[in-house]
Structure 1
Amino acid sequence: MEIRRVVVGPLDTNCWVLHSDRSAVLVDPGDSPEVILDAVRDLDVTAIVLTHVHFDHVLAADAVAEALGVTVFAHPAEAATWENELAYLAERGHYDAGTDTEKLLAQGVPLNVGTWSGRFSPVPTRLSVGSVDVEVLHTPGHSPGSITLAVPGHLFTGDTLFPGGPGLTTGPLCDFPAIIESVRGLLDHPADTVVHPGHGLDTTVGREKPALPSWIARGW
């Protein structure tokens, strides 16, 4: 399997392209549909998968799905997540960017950029990318329906696991004990497994696993 990363949107979201034998799955088309479509022009994209449905991971999903004629998949529990995103937008006039919201707004970063239909189909437990089998892991905590895509040697963790710890669990649908259990399971993969997060740089299971007790102790 080969991997492409396209960084899009005001929060620099990693949109991942997993491809093998020209077949591809697109993960988290968060913004800039024309940029994403250009990145997969030589591939046969068979599906779009959302690791979760916070605004910065979904805003290009409708346009890209329509252009490619493919289905958007997410965990069924994410319907509540999108409802919460829309409620926050209606109340505040912008989306929630977690602990960085006020700082980003002060810097003039646009956090009211478009919307999404909320339409998706339930993600299956396994997907095929050419000859490669992709396992879909339910890894809740950052949101109720957060998922991780696992292939041998690689984990695409969305906002569940980053270099330095788990994703944010400060929102109304977040759950710190749940994300710790999700992360614990991810860290049971071989040490050389590469972790590809929803934002920022890659890391490895072996690099992050020793820090798990400190993440639990700090409580975030």
Structure 2
Amino acid sequence: MKKLTNYRRTVQYLQKIYNLINAEYFNGELEEITLTVQESVRSYGHVSVSETWFTTDNKAMKELNVSANYLTRDIIEVVTTLIHECSHIYNMQHGVKDTSNGYIYHNKKFKKTAEEMGKIKIDRSEKYGWTISTPTEETIDFCIRNGLENIEIRRKSDFSFGGFTGGTNGNNTLPRPTTRKPSSTRKYICPCCGNSFRATKDINVICADCDVQFVKIG
């Protein structure tokens, strides 16, 4: 297999994985979606709660986005993100309300589907509920059996405040930064739990509680 350093090929590859997950874990029941790869430093992925893509013959589809910023994580982690979002799709199709508080807080109904059908491990975030997703031996075996390889292209984070909208599972918003005097340190904040710290240089750090990357805000 050629290295996944091409954007178009990467999107097709992720669509292939979606189809494999659908067949392996969700009995082939998941609806057709439009898979996108777009900027998202707030989460590894999200799925829209309503149809957002329409063809000229009036076919409507939900959007499943995989963050362009985190594509080069281990493929096992990327697959775990896709299974997480597929669990939301499955629940929506079966009338199961698995989130609240503007689609942010994940309840035990989500945990049940993701663990029992998707075979991933779900732990609880104090603020955002049962949303922390971890691969299992089943996930690893799935990747090996299907010969899945790491993606080698991603988008450099270019985070800006403002303009965020809700309406999708997995999205959170951050407050606008206040004006401050220039400083030799950078402030980093977790977009989920709000934990923060300062550093004297640019670094990449993942919040152990929420499993998302800290965002530099100043």
Higher relative contact order (CA 8 A, sep 6+): 2
The structure with more strand, counted as a fraction of residues:
1
Larger radius of gyration: 2
TM-score (norm 1): 0.27
